[in-house]
Amino acid sequence: MAGLADILLEESKKAQDVILFFRNGAFYRAYNHSAYLFWNLIEQFKVFHKINKSTKQEYYFVGAPEGSMLKYIAGRQYTQNEQGDIVLRLDAEKDKMPEDLTYEEWIAQFANEENGSMEEALKEVQYLLPKGGPELYKAVYNQIVALPLEQMNSMECQMFLYELRKQIFANKKKFPF
């Protein structure tokens, strides 16, 4: 998979009648304008709003599991490169964009969404967490929030969870469950 900066650059240069799906581990992701087209014309998946920490550039994406992507693009004209990325050509007759929702209006819907505070998030999942108090919760929460999921593959995520679990159980005396 190409780096995020390369993906965003390629996305900005693409034709307006194309949706680019970049393979990311076991998922495909469509970024920015491609995400807008996918969301409006194919399926209204959850839209993620992120900021690239190195470039400070905002971006939006939608994602679909690799196994179900073909279901969403069935009957459409597409090509796939060696890395598994998909280039989907839209049909001018079939794919009519809603005229009442511009790209800028679309991103405005998601740009202002708040992720909520750590305290709010902990209240929602506290019953799932082991007993250990707020210090353990905050430590786990901070590590998860800092995780750059958009730049990791599934194996890296699995290793992160394994290491996080080891840290939690290493603190068993300090935070008995």
Nearest-5° Cα angle at 101, 72 to 29: 35
Q: What's residue 138's pLDDT?
A: 72
The yes-or-no verdict on residue 168 having pLDDT over 80 is no
Domain boundaries, the chain: 4-111, 118-170
CB atoms within 10 A of CB 50: 15
Which two structure tokens, joined as six digits, stand for 145? 């929030």
Residue 58's DSSP bridge partners are 51
Judge whether residue 15 has pLDDT over 50: yes
Helical residues (DSSP H) of 77-153, grouped into ranges: 103-111, 118-125, 133-146
Q: What is the pLDDT of residues 70-121, one digit of tens each?
A: 888 888 899 999 988 999 999 877 888 777 788 888 888 887 654 444 455 5
Whether pTM > 0.85 for this model: the answer is no
pLDDT at 61: 92
The reported pLDDT for the residue numbered 164 is: 78
